[in-house]
Structure 1
Amino acid sequence: MIRTRGELLAEGIPASTINYRCRSGTYIRLLPGTICLGPPTGLDRCHAVVAWQPSAVLSHRTAAWLHGFLPEEPVCVEATIPKSAARATPPWLHLHRRQLRPDWIDERYDLPVTTAVLTVFDCASALLEREADEMIDLHVGKHVSGQALLELCGSGLHGSNTVRRQLREAATHAASEPERLFARALARRGVHLLPNHPVGPFVCDFVDERSRTIIEIDGREFHSDSSTFRRDRRRQNALLLGGYLVLRYAAADIYQSLDQCADEAAAVIRERRR
């Protein structure tokens, strides 16, 4: 639980007692004038930032965690403060300086945070590329509007080019992690396929109608029993007789040799389109 020194004094706790409890470790000073009454949690640190700097809005990876977009609590708390503010910070806190519009601010756990769309926008540049890819693919179209992200790109914010590229390469409809990785790899090569698309009575992982090419990503756990094996063969024969080329990749090869698989598929599709 977070208290300011002023709040503790107002509660009738003498200054000498506060100082003694801080020295003994009963209280923990997190920021100037801001005290935690026990071992601090991640939320305690977030509350401490806002108590110390009332104009602060939790942002970037911290906001993503509070929105539920990141599974693990970030090591460093990130917040955005006005450009005019100047504050020295401890190692566990990083402050970004930017003027936030009122409609860019939301609330989570009684804390001011950047809105979901601005949080994803900021994380597109702040996260490692693979982490940013995953956040875009998992949340755009479900929790965040792609159109809203594009509108932010027109606001002059840093990172707009990264967000535009992310949206071009996004794999928001992938049914599995190997399919998501494969779709992104093809998009980086300028090849965009229809995911989970019906061809006759079958739903295929990826379809390119122009070249009449189908790509299937096979996970061993779903294709190893005898009935599935026989059904896959009947399905593939029907697609081939219908004039489609069917390329099949094992999920293990997508994880281990993604670029080679994507290069091969992209080359085949371009050749068949010609």
Structure 2
Amino acid sequence: MDDLIVKGVSRSTVQRRVKAGEYYKVFNGLYLTRKPTPRQLLWALLTTFPRSCATGRTAAEFYAGKEVSFPLQLVIDRDMQQIDGVQWFRSRLLRHVWMGEFRVHVPCLAVEHLDEEPAIALLEMAYANRRGRDLAERHVAGLRLPARSRALLSKAAIGADSGGEVVLTRALREVGLTVLNNVYLGAYWWDIYVPKLKLLVEVDGYEYHRSENLETFVRDRAKANDAVLAGFVVLRFTGSCVTHELDRVVQQILSVRTVPNPLPTEGVWDWHWVFVRAAHPEHQEMYE
């Protein structure tokens, strides 16, 4: 794209070529050799203004691996004139990552310019899996985050691996519990940790565990045994439990106390969707 920005051309020539449709005017002082795509315009603006980066919806498109689209959203440390197809935000917080040739606001700052739902989705995508919490902490380090960004981070399931973990984490936070995702305790990683209840939760996907090898099978049993012997409560739910029986899962977690609960007289076959589906094939479509 090095040939995109007009350079070394007299003002009169530039004006004549703009009038003839040969050049494209972004604003006085920035002219392009052709009408730009969103990606080309973004590159031209970031090149022209080194103290700027993509933010908001444009940043989310980068993190999702999508092609950028109009209107572009950028952040800069000064007031900017309005440009067609561009929305400017002003901020001194310009911490960014490089994605190819483009400077992109770190997610914990980019979300300041998104509605809540897409903002939380961006945080959970960008800060997923075991590296997510460390990455988020590095991005936040030394910054005085805006109050809204802090609130969004507290709502997002940072470090979660799966959709089931995200759903359960959100549900537990809604009932007032502090929940951490992908926590390393002892010698093992745990999907969900609820410190108040000294509770460890695993959300197991059927497809993953159906194909587990002997080493994984042995490790998971030792993992649970070690935690119980150390005084933790360990609960394991399938992804389908979270999908179809979320209220029941949450209530089971809330029932955890220092005094053991009595063993239930109701078996899993009385309520779990797998067994209910088998007993009532006429309602198969409800569980697909």
Q: Does TM-score exceed 0.5, indicating one fold?
A: yes
Give runs of aligned pairs for residues 175-194 of structure 1, distance below 5 A: 175-188=161-174, 189-192=176-179
Structure 2: runs of 5+ lacking an equivalent: 262-288
Give runs of aligned pairs for residues 218-257 of structure 1, distance below 5 A: 218-225=204-211, 238=225, 242=229, 245-254=233-242, 256-257=243-244
What one-letter code is carried by the residue in structure 1 that aligns with 2:73?
Answer: E
Q: In structure 2, do the counterparts of structure 1 residues 168 and 265 end up closer, same or farther at CA, with 3 Å as the change threshold?
A: farther
Aligned twin of 1:3: 5
1:45, distance to aligned residue in structure 2 (A): 0.8
Structure 1 contact 195–204 (Cα < 8 Å) conserved: yes
| 2:63 pairs with 1:69 | yes
Q: In structure 2, do the counterparts of structure 1 residues 217 and 71 end up closer, same or farther at CA, with 3 Å as the change threshold?
A: same
Give runs of aligned pairs for residues 28-43 of structure 1, distance below 5 A: 29=24, 31-32=26-27, 34-38=30-34, 40-43=36-39
1:217, distance to aligned residue in structure 2 (A): 0.8
What one-letter code is carried by the residue in structure 1 that aligns with 2:237?
Answer: Y
| 2:88 corresponds to which of 95, 116, 137 | 95
Structure 1 contact 124–162 (Cα < 8 Å) conserved: yes
Encode CA deviations 1:43-90: one digit per residue, 9 max, x unaligned: 311134357x75872342377369x534223422112356654x3332
For the residue of structure 2 that corresponds to 1:222, the secondary structure is helix
Structure 2 contact 56–74 (Cα < 8 Å) conserved: no
Encode CA deviations 1:224-265: one digit per residue, 9 max, x unaligned: 2597798699669957985765433222343x3585266324
TM-score normalised to structure 2 length: 0.60
TM-score normalised to structure 1 length: 0.63
1:203, distance to aligned residue in structure 2 (A): 5.4
Q: In structure 2, do the counterparts of structure 1 residues 209 and 107 end up closer, same or farther at CA, with 3 Å as the change threshold?
A: closer
Structure 1 contact 46–77 (Cα < 8 Å) conserved: yes
Give runs of aligned pairs for residues 1-274 of structure 1, distance below 5 A: 1=1, 2-4=4-6, 7=7, 9-10=9-10, 16=16, 19-20=19-20, 22=21, 27=22, 29=24, 31-32=26-27, 34-38=30-34, 40-49=36-45, 54=49, 57-61=52-56, 64=59, 69-75=63-69, 76-81=71-76, 84-85=79-80, 87-90=81-84, 92-96=85-89, 98=90, 100=92, 104=94, 108=98, 113=103, 116=106, 120-127=108-115, 128-135=118-125, 137-138=127-128, 139-142=132-135, 145=138, 147-148=140-141, 151-153=143-145, 160-188=146-174, 189-192=176-179, 195-197=182-184, 204-208=190-194, 211=197, 213-225=199-211, 238=225, 242=229, 245-254=233-242, 256-257=243-244, 260=247, 263-269=250-256
1:175, distance to aligned residue in structure 2 (A): 3.9
What one-letter code is carried by the residue in structure 1 that aligns with 2:26?
Answer: L
1:220, distance to aligned residue in structure 2 (A): 1.1
Quote the Cα distance in structure 1 between the aligned partners of 2:91 and 2:224: 60
Quote the Cα distance in structure 1 between the aligned partners of 2:212 and 2:67: 44
Quote the Cα distance in structure 2 between the aligned partners of 1:262 and 1:12: 72
For the residue of structure 1 that corresponds to 2:134, the secondary structure is coil
